[in-house]
Amino acid sequence: MIPTKKKSLKIISLVFTFFITFCSYGQSMIVKGKVVDEKGIPLIGVTIIEQGVNNGAATDFDGNYALDVKSSEASLVVSYIGFETQVIAVSGKSTINVITVSYTHLTLPTSDLV
């Protein structure tokens, strides 16, 4: 028995729908958050880069950022002068707030200065 044109169209539509769903899996997502120091003060100009990809953002006046990452399994590299660089896994989270740690524990005593 030859399938009717209407039945063939339904099958093609169903296959197309599954194909589109499969292709959209693992697509990009927007990650946003706020970067503050140990005292909770927002940091301006902190660099947030998606690891291994040429994709990044910087925090605004209030320490907020938004970044369109390529994968929900990406890692973010958070860096700022005078603060410890952090690598944070996205792990499917759409909001990632960061508390940075300063390098004050690495300060040399003044007697070591030449």
As given in the structure block, the two tokens for residue 8 are 């063939």
Asked if residue 67 belongs to a domain, the reply is yes
Cβ partners under 8 Å of residue 22, min gap 6 = none
Do the domain assignments include residue 14? Answer: no
Q: Determine, yes or no, domain membership for 54.
A: yes
Q: What is the mean pLDDT of each run of 10 residues along the chain (114 residues)?
A: 64 61 66 95 96 95 96 94 94 94 64 54
Q: Could you tell me if 71 and 51 are in contact, meaning their C-beta atoms sit under 8 angstroms apart?
A: no
pLDDT at position 83: 93
pLDDT at 14: 59
Q: Which residue has the tokens 């007697």?
A: 111
What pLDDT sits at residue 5?
67
pTM of this structure: 0.68
Question: Residues 6 or more apart from 15 whose CB is under 8 A from it?
Answer: none
| Residues sharing a CB contact under 8 Å with residue 88, sequence separation 6 or more, in sequence order | 75, 76, 78, 96, 98
Structural domain of 58: 28-112
pLDDT score for 2 = 53
| Residue 21 in domain | no
Indicate the pairing of strand 64-69 with strand 47-50: unpaired
The answer to whether position 11 is within a domain reads no
For 22, the enclosing helix (H) or strand (E) is helix 5-24
Task: Note whether residue 16 is domain-resident.
Answer: no
Dmax (CA) of the chain:
94
Residue 54 sits in a domain whose CATH number is: 2.60.40.4130
- The structural domain count of the chain equals 1
pLDDT at residue 101, as a whole number: 85
